[in-house]
Amino acid sequence: MVGGSYPGPAPGFKREARALRGSGGRDSETADFPGDTRMQALIWGGAALTLLGVAGLGYCVVRTLKARNAGLPDEVLRAELQRIVTINLGALGVSALGLMLVVLGIVLG
């Protein structure tokens, strides 16, 4: 249809879909599905991983500031900053993985 609007579902569609789904007469918004709990767990687990990664990034910032203000020789400071960069990349990876899990849980849920 050019220029027309979508007519919407046929009359009685929600009632038939509810009967097929077996929700016991509850509205579709309140129906509990087995996959719903798994997706919520995926979202909350991803959020926890993201927060863990952000905490790791904060730890790297604090550790870097302490190392720079300690007045260490250049070689020792460089070695300490290289260790911090390794931790920083790991924390960034954990945070990114957590965000991926959250997005995956939202898309699949």
Q: What is the pLDDT of residues 1-13, one digit of tens each?
A: 555 666 666 665 5
pLDDT at 25: 47
Local structure of 109: helix, strand or coil: coil
pLDDT of 104 over the 50 cut: yes
| 65/80 Cα distance (integer angstroms) | 11
| 47 CB-contact burial (10 Å; exposed 0-12 / middle 13-18 / buried 19+) | middle
Signed CA dihedral, 24, 28, 30, 31: sign only: positive
Q: How do residues 55-95 score in pLDDT, each as one tens digit?
A: 999 999 999 999 999 989 999 999 999 999 999 999 999 99
Exposure b/e, 78-97, CB count within 10 A at least 16 = b: eebbeebeeebeebeebbee
| 27/109 Cα distance (integer angstroms) | 17
pLDDT band at 51 (very low <50, low <70, confident <90, very high): very high
Q: Could you give the count of Cα atoms lying within 13 Å of 71 in the half-sphere of its Cβ?
A: 0
